[in-house]
Structure formats: structure tokens, C-alpha cells
Structure 1
């Protein structure tokens, strides 16, 4: 039986130096177009985290550097359930880089039970990025079948706000609209009707063999796969 490779123990300076050595100007140029201050290939960044394994306290040190790339490593080596609701709230509000926020949502917030208690507060926050995170978590809750959701009210709120919402929040609300249509047969027709009437992301360029973010098309594609 093979023995497990032990976690490496590096300093913050060690990790920052490794990330600096992996800097690729072309990658940074592409990422900056999307608001991401990141110049490292993410597969190589993940390799650093894989060597470190889970080191929750060290993750906090990396997060505190404020460096977006170090924060991605921090997210990967964290223990998601160890964060308190207050810590999650501070981290979310301190995250302005889209890729860091995406990873924070997917790798930590979705795995921490405290997030469900904060989700509604976040989705109604005046900070657009925080609100977007709240809606992303609501989509996750819909997909997981959380029983305290009022899908009718969510659809009403989406119908009222979706067209005027700023870009990041609009994407998150649109995802929630599609998720309701995909996972709730009862509300599917209504979700499709809202998407068709509002037309949000209808003309978004979608590569071949990829699912359109236009909610009616998204819903129909995913439901058709469920029937196969």
C-alpha cells in the first residue's frame, strides 16, 4: 500500500515567490480583460495547492496578503466548514476579483452551512457583487432542493429586476431563472415565459456545442438531457 505524500509546509513568501515565477504576461493580458488580476496558469496554481494539501490556518495567512493569486491558493487549501458566518461575510465583501469570488462561492460558500443563513441577506445587499453571490447561492439552493425556498416569489423578483440589473448581478439572477426552470417542472413554463419576454442574453455569442446562457434555451437543453 503506497504511503500518502505529506503536505509541504511553505511560508507565505515561498508561495508568493512560486506564483511570481509562474507569471505569464499573455495569461495576465487575457485575464485582465475580464477584470481578473491573474497572470498564472490555473492548473499550475492548483498544483501548488495540491502539494500544500489542507492547511486552514495557513490559508488565512495567504488570504490576508490580498494577492488574488495567493487567495486562490488559500481557497483551495481551506477547510470550508471551519469558517464562521462573520468570516465569510468579511471575505465576500473583500473580494473584488471575479475569479476569486467565483472560487470563494463554489469551493467555500456552497460547502459551508452558515451560507444558507446569510444567503437571503446577501442577495438583497446594496453591494452588487455581494448580491450576485447571494443569487449564485440561491441557484445552488434551488438545484439542491432546499425546502425553504419560495420559487414563485423568486421568479417575480427576477422578472422585476433582471433587465435593469448590472452585469454580474444580471448573470447570477439569469442563472437562477434557468435553474428554477430546469429543476422545477411546476415553474418551468413560467420561467421560460419570463426569459422569452425579457430576452436577456438572447444574442450572447455561444460557441458550438456549448449551452446558451439565454434562459429558455438553457432550460430546454438541460431538460432534454434529463429525458435521455
Structure 2
């Protein structure tokens, strides 16, 4: 799918009640208030799409940024891109979910998590902790540094 098609889907599936709720919790314009269930319908269509995920995140639209995290290819994304993403994650929906899910699936997720945890920005530090906890959830115990944890 093209960026324009995805953005049209998001616009068409925006829900005013969802938008009002997300707004109360920190989302800000631009966004449509798309339900996660509707975003997952798009994931089925797009699958992993590295290029599209980069385009979506750059829109600054919260719905698009969240979707970017769902379709990002952890094998292609770079530490530099994830640094850009975490720095642009202005509310917890992005900083505690979208970015950490992608970061934890990369080969460099641990290093990013440890660096972010020590950052003074609350959202970045939260992204670090969420990435770190996700690493513990998706890896076998024997693959973890239990002394570090």
C-alpha cells in the first residue's frame, strides 16, 4: 500500500469517541482516533513494510506512528532511526508501545534500552524500560543476563 492509501484508510476509520479518549491521555493533533482493531486490519494488508513504516512515522500523526511500529521490519530498521523515533514519541502510546516493540525485536535493542533508561526525558526513559521489559518477555531465561536484571 502507498502512504496516501494508508492515510486515507486512517481518516476513514477515525472514531470521535476514540479520538476524545486518546486526546485526554496525551494524543495531540494530527490524529484521527483510529481503534487498534482497525489498525490491525491494515497490518494484515501491509504485513511488514519497512519503507512504509518510515513514511508513516514521519507524518507525525499519532495513528500513523503507532501503525509504523506494528509494521516496522526489525531486521531493516537502524539504531539511528529508532533514536529518531524515540525522540519523536511525544506520548506514551508511542513511547511505551510502538517504539519499544520494534526496538526489542532488533539485535541492538538491549543497548538502546540501557541508553534510553538513563536519559532525562521521561518518555525516552519510559521507552527504555518498556524495551528492556519486552526483551525479558520475548527471550528465554538462559539468553538473559540475570545478574544485570
TM-score, normalized by length of structure 1?
0.56
Which residue of structure 1 lines up, in the alignment, with residue 121 of structure 2? 127
Q: Deviations over 1:132-182 (max 9, x none)?
A: 11122333345544216434xxxxxxxxxxxxxxxxxxxxxxxxxxxxxxx
Choose the corresponding residue for 2:84, options 87, 90, 93: 90
Displacement of 1:114: 0.9
Q: Deviations over 1:53-107 (max 9, x none)?
A: 222112211111111111222222221121121211111111112212212212x
Contact 1:56 1:77 in 2 (8 A): yes
Displacement of 1:52: 1.4
Higher relative contact order (CA 8 A, sep 6+): 2
Displacement of 1:13: 1.7
Choose the corresponding residue for 2:10, options 8, 19, 29: 19
Contact 2:82 2:99 in 1 (8 A): no
Q: Distance in 2 between matches of 1:73 and 1:137?
A: 17
Give the SS at the match of 1:80. Answer: coil
Q: Distance in 1 between matches of 2:48 and 2:132?
A: 27
Q: Distance in 1 between matches of 2:72 and 2:135?
A: 22
Give RMSD over aligned pairs.
1.9
Which residue of structure 2 lines up, in the alignment, with residue 140 of structure 1? 134
Q: Distance in 2 between matches of 1:97 and 1:83?
A: 21
Distance 1:141 1:21, change over 3 A: closer
Q: Distance in 1 between matches of 2:68 and 2:113?
A: 22
How many residue pairs get matched? 141
Higher radius of gyration, 1 or 2: 1
Unaligned runs of 5+ in 2: none
TM-score, normalized by length of structure 2?
0.83
Which residue of structure 2 lines up, in the alignment, with residue 3 of structure 1? none
Distance 1:138 1:14, change over 3 A: closer
Q: Give runs of aligned pairs for residues 1-16 of structure 1, distance below 5 A.
A: 10-16=1-7
Give the SS at the match of 1:82. Answer: coil
